[in-house]
Amino acid sequence: MNKLLSTSIKEVSHKINAGDVRPSDITKAAVKLTTFIKPLNAYITVTDETAKKEAENSNSRQENHALLGKLDGIPIAVKDNYCTNDHLTTCASKMLSNFVPPYNATVYQRLKDAGAILIGKTNLDEFGMGSGTIDSYYGPTKNLWNSDILTKCYSNKISMEKHTEQNNDENSWHITGGSSGGSAVAVATGSCFAALGSDTGGSTRNPASYCGVIGLKPTYGLVSRYGLIPLVNSMDVPGILARNVDDVLLILNTIAGPDRADSTSSQKEYVPFNVSDSINISNVRIGIPKEYKVKNISSDVQECWDEVSLYLKEAGASISMVSMPHTSYSIACYSVLNRCDVASNLSCYDGMEYGLRADEWKSVHDLYRKTRTEGFGQVVKERILVGNYFLLEENYDEYYVKAMRMRRLISNDFDVVWNNNIDLLLTPTTLTEAPSYNEFVSLDNQTQCLVQDYCTQPANMAGIPAINVPIKLSKNGLPLSLQLMAPSFNEERLLTVAKWIEQRVKFPKLELKDMSLLE
């Protein structure tokens, strides 16, 4: 059974349909694996009782030949900033540590209606504010690829010697990226077949890069945001993490489409599509933005970029250098807009209606102050304060208005490229492999976001789709990845080329060893 946890949704779904495996058996193994990987801290809540009940229902449908589709009986995970009825939704914050929503987020409800089985809610940076999944009230999430668990429980075709050398420093482990780091680790370990993340400035693609999985940021508006607790309303997008492109596409086909509960959802009808195993990219025109060739890109990542560009060219794709002159302003622009929305969105956490409430207070003002001081972590409080400063009447034009104008220029850069007959852009996802924890915390949260999200953030400014594709392992045995970006609502072309790259590079796949623990 543990071998199946390392395979694809397509393969497991086929076995469920054929009656070769019961949903309850695959679910039981997945839940057991969440316990075994607990040191990585991927999950805030493991919904084992819910999973058991949903698996039994799937068993019944299997027996009656009434399965709901390819996701019926498939274990999935959900980032803990999506509302889930009857389960905690904490946003990895003390402020919401006791919050159980009365409704489900649309994306989760659609997965549930398709028969997917919720294994748990995954860890994140508090309220999605970070690029490492280390700023969580529930502790940091650790990267599988540099852990003892990798050598004990997994095998693959590469030499594992790189992972056997142990550092005596207890903080020598490597980060997962963020803020959807818990979802990335949940998928990479095989404890679920796919997971929902969220992506505001790269929070799905960044951890997907560091953890060696596929991470898709759909076009803004293609997937409903209803029930996703907001960070930056005009940039937040539900993200999808899985181990291969086909699995990502299956999830996208399930959750995409109009939603009357979300005013930002596109009302354009979504038509599900498939990507063939036989792909011809000879007519694809790919741009390489020169502004993404920055001085702090690692030699490993640059080598990946050059190699894949060559692979594409050899297969007949047209490769050309393009310019996107406002790229370097994106992070600064995002820093302003992010904090303004944070100050606004988090103003509702005041101890009055839901969430944490301070125990002792003398006045309403005192209640607000104590609740917010106790309930929010340092990073969140700093962003709220800075956001309120930007929104002061005397500062509004200088910061917020200028940032909005710059956002338009950044978005226009993409429009110019698309209008010059470029189909896709190929860039790094992150500039390096996953940093060690010690390296990451040597810089503050803001500085890390400047470094980690440089390549991913512009896509959120423009609202376009983007995907992370793992390429190979670095000299240190850690995943290296690249990013593809496409015009809005061009997910089919994006996923087609991503699948071609996936087939060409054959990124090393981890397989669970035969462990009696999971039998």
Show which residues are catalytic: 79, 179, 203
Contacts of 99 (CB under 8 A, 6+ apart): 88, 89, 90, 354, 355
Look at the alpha carbons of 31, 34, 35, 36 in this order and tell me if their dihedral is positive or negative: positive
Determine the length of the chain.
Answer: 519
Record the tokens describing residue 416, joined without a space: 């110019």
Per the listing, tokens 């709901």 go with 68
9: nearest Cα among 74, 77, 89, 80: 74
CA distance 332 to 450: 8
Whether the CB-CB separation of 43 and 121 falls below 8 Å is answered with yes
Residues 6+ apart with CB under 8 A from 45: 80, 87, 88, 90, 120, 121
Task: State how far Cα 502 lies from the chain centre.
Answer: 18
Residue 107: how many CA atoms within 13 Å on its side-chain side?
Answer: 30
Q: Are 223 and 107 in contact (CB under 8 A)?
A: yes
Q: What whole-number distance in Å separates Cα of residue 288 and Cα of residue 424? A: 9
Q: In what order do the strands lie in the sheet with 424-428?
A: 43-46, 117-122, 75-79, 194-199, 237-242, 214-217, 466-473, 479-485, 424-428, 285-289, 318-322
